[in-house]
Structure 1
Amino acid sequence: MIRLAVISGKGGTGKTMVTAALADVSPAAQVLADCDVDASNLELLFEPRRISTEPFMGLEVAGIDPDRCRDCGICADRCRFGAIVRRDDAWQVDAIHCEGCGVCAYVCPMGAITMGPRVCGEIYTSETDRGCLAHARLNPGAGNSGLLVHEVKKRANSMADGCTLQLIDGPPGIGCPLISTVSGMDAVLIVTEPSVSALHDLGRLVTVCRRFDVDIFVAINRFDLAEKVTEEIQTYCEKENLTVVGMIPFDPQVVEAVRHNRPVTRTDSPAAVAVRDLWETLSRELGME
C-alpha cells in the first residue's frame, strides 16, 4: 500500500481541496485520513456516514480535593501555568490552563491533588463513496494534537485491508502534528501557492520532510495569479531536485464546488482538468500505474 500525505507549509494553499480531488479521481482502493485535527474539514466534501465515535483522552488534568486541602497555597506558587486559582475562598484548578505536568500533585503536602483523565476531543471513523475515512475533532484549547494525529492514523490503518492507497489530508506548518503525519509515509505532496510567504514556508517544510524517508513532490495551486513567484518556486524546486507534479490555475468553480460540498473534480472546470493531470503524473511517479 502506498501511503501519501498531502501537506502545506502554510494554511490556505488549497491542500484539502487537492486531497479531496485526488481521492475523487483515484481508481485505487483507498482509505482516507484527515490529520488536520485542529481544523478538520475533509469530511465536508464527502458527506461521510458515521461508523464510530470515541473520546480522545489527552493530557491529564489536576483536581483538588477540598476536604484534604489545608489552604497552604504551595501548589499555586509552584504552578508555572497559572492554572491554580482562588475561587469561592478555595484553591481550584483552571482546566484550560492546566498542562498536566503533575507538579502540583507532587508538591502538595496533604496529598489533596490528583491527576485524572481529560477528554480533549473525539475520534471518528466514517464511510464515504471514495473509501473509509478516519478523522477527529480537537477541543478548543486542547493540546496533544500530535498524539491525536497518531490515533487517527491508527484508525485508518485498521480500515486499510485490501487498500492500495492511504491518502492523508495533513496539517499546515512544520510542528508536531505535521511530524506525526509524515512519520511512516512513503511520499508527501506539498501544496503551495505563488506568494512570498508560501515560498518561504515551502523551504522550511522541505527541510523537515527530508528528515524522513519519504519522496517529496510539489503542486502549485493558483499558479497563474503571480507568475513571477511561480517561476521562483519552480527554480527552487529545480535547485532542490523536487518534482513539480501539477500546476493548478485559479478557478472560481473551485469555490463553487466547495460551497456545494463536493470535490472540484465533479465539475467541468480548468482546475478539475489540472488535478486529473496531477494525479496521472503523481501516480506514475509513485509506480501505481
Structure 2
Amino acid sequence: MKELVIISGKGGTGKTSVAASFAALAENAVVADCDVDAADLHLVLEPQVLDRHDFSGGFNATVRTVQCSGCGTCLQLCRFGAVNLDRGRAQIDPIACEGCGVCSHFCPEEAIDFSPSINGQWFLSTTCHGPMVHARLGIAQENSGKLVSLIRKQAKQIAANEDRNLIIIDGSPGIGCPVIASLTGADQLLAVTEPTMSGRHDLKRVADLAAHFGSPLAVCINKWDLNPDLTRLIEDDARQRKLPVVGRIRYDRAVTDAQIHRRTVVEHTPSGAATDIKKLWQAISTLLSAPQTPKNHP
C-alpha cells in the first residue's frame, strides 16, 4: 500500500483539482481529504455518506451556576481571560477558553464541568471512483492536526480491508500542523505550485518541510503558461534541490467548467489541461512504483 499526498505552499494553486483528477485516473485507490479546515474535494467527487462520526479534539469548561458560590478562584487562575463574574456567578467564554481544565480542577465547589467538545464530523463515503474519507471541522475549531491523523488512519484501514494499493491524500496548504499530520511517513509528496512570486517562495518552505521529515517530494507547476519565465525559475529552484519536476499544467478554462458541472477535468474533456494531468499521473505512478529508500524521521 502506498500513500500519495498532494500539497501546496499556499491555497488556490489547483491542489484539490489535481487530487480529484488523480482519484478519477487511479485504479483500486482510497481518497482522503485531509484539508479539513477548508474541505472541498467533496464538491467534485460528490461522495455518498455511508457513516458519520462526531470528532472531539478537546474539552470545554462549563459552569453549573446553581452550584457556583462566586468565590472568584477560577477568575484568578484563568490565564486566557475566559472567565468573568456576572451577578456573583462565574461564566466562561467558550471562544476564549483554551480547554486547559485548571478552573475545573481547582474549583472549591466542584461547580465546573470539563467535558469533551464536539469540534466537527468525519465521514466514511463512497464515490464513483471508490471509497473516500473526509471531514468537516467546525468554524473556529482547533486540533485540525488530530483530525487529519484520524482521517489518514481510517483511509489506511479501508485500504487494508479492501486490498487497495493506493491512498490519495488531498493535504492542507501551507506548512502548519495539519500539513505535517498529512505528510509524515507518506511514500510520495507532490507539491502543486503556480508561477507567482508567492508560489515560488512558498514552494521553498514546503521543500524545507519535506526535507526535514525525509519525505520524497516532486513538483508540478499549474497554469505555467501564464508566466513562463517564472516557471523556469521555479523549475531551476527544484532541480538545485534535486527535486523531480514531474509536470506542467496549462491554464485551461475547462477546469472551471468541469468544477461547475461537479466533475474532474479529466472526465470533462479529453484535451488541454486534462492531457497535462494525465501525463502528470503517469509520472507520479512511475515514482510510486520505484523502489523506496528508507524514510528518515528526526
The normalised TM-score by structure 1 is 0.95
Q: Residue 277 of structure 1 corresponds to which residue in structure 2?
A: 279
Alignment of 1:238-277 (within 5 A): 238-266=239-267, 267-277=269-279
> 2: CA distance between counterparts of 1:92 and 1:171?
36
Contact 1:253 1:269 in 2 (8 A): no
Confirm whether residue 149 of structure 1 aligns to residue 148 of structure 2. yes
Q: Residue 62 of structure 1 corresponds to which residue in structure 2?
A: 61
Contact 1:186 1:213 in 2 (8 A): no
Confirm whether residue 36 of structure 1 aligns to residue 35 of structure 2. yes
Contact 1:251 1:269 in 2 (8 A): no
Confirm whether residue 13 of structure 1 aligns to residue 16 of structure 2. no
* Offset of residue 173 of structure 1: 0.6
> 1: CA distance between counterparts of 2:84 and 2:33?
37
Q: Structure 1 stretch 107-116 or stretch 246-255: which is displaced more?
A: 107-116
> 1: CA distance between counterparts of 2:58 and 2:182?
20
> 2: CA distance between counterparts of 1:87 and 1:168?
48
* Offset of residue 89 of structure 1: 5.2
> 2: CA distance between counterparts of 1:22 and 1:35?
15
> 2: CA distance between counterparts of 1:263 and 1:62?
44
Q: Structure 1 stretch 74-83 or stretch 95-104: which is displaced more?
A: 74-83
> 2: CA distance between counterparts of 1:177 and 1:95?
23
* Offset of residue 119 of structure 1: 0.5
Q: Residue 24 of structure 1 corresponds to which residue in structure 2?
A: 24
Query: Which amino acid in 1 is paired with 2:201?
Result: H
- Deviation digits for residues 201-226 of structure 1, max 9, x if unmatched? 11111111112232111110001111
SS at match of 1:92: strand
In the alignment of these two chains, the number of paired residues is 288
Q: Structure 1 stretch 204-213 or stretch 239-248: which is displaced more?
A: 204-213
- Deviation digits for residues 208-250 of structure 1, max 9, x if unmatched? 1112232111110001111121111011001000001110011
Contact 2:75 2:84 in 1 (8 A): yes
Query: Which amino acid in 2 is paired with 1:228?
Result: D
Confirm whether residue 122 of structure 1 aligns to residue 135 of structure 2. no
- Deviation digits for residues 265-289 of structure 1, max 9, x if unmatched? 011331000000101111112217x
Alignment of 1:75-114 (within 5 A): 75-87=74-86, 90-114=89-113
SS at match of 1:134: strand
- Deviation digits for residues 56-91 of structure 1, max 9, x if unmatched? 011101111223322122312322222223446532
- Deviation digits for residues 6-43 of structure 1, max 9, x if unmatched? 000100000000000111112x2100100000111111
* Offset of residue 105 of structure 1: 1.9
Q: Residue 192 of structure 1 corresponds to which residue in structure 2?
A: 193
SS at match of 1:60: strand
Contact 1:194 1:226 in 2 (8 A): yes
> 2: CA distance between counterparts of 1:36 and 1:188?
15
**Alignment identity in percent?**
42
- Deviation digits for residues 176-203 of structure 1, max 9, x if unmatched? 0001001221110000001111111111
- Tell me how large the CA RMSD over aligned residues is: 1.5
Contact 1:121 1:139 in 2 (8 A): yes
Query: Which amino acid in 2 is paired with 1:257?
Result: A
Q: Structure 1 stretch 210-219 or stretch 116-125: which is displaced more?
A: 210-219
Query: Which amino acid in 2 is paired with 1:274?
Result: D
Alignment of 1:201-212 (within 5 A): 201-212=202-213
Confirm whether residue 166 of structure 1 aligns to residue 167 of structure 2. yes
Q: Residue 177 of structure 1 corresponds to which residue in structure 2?
A: 178
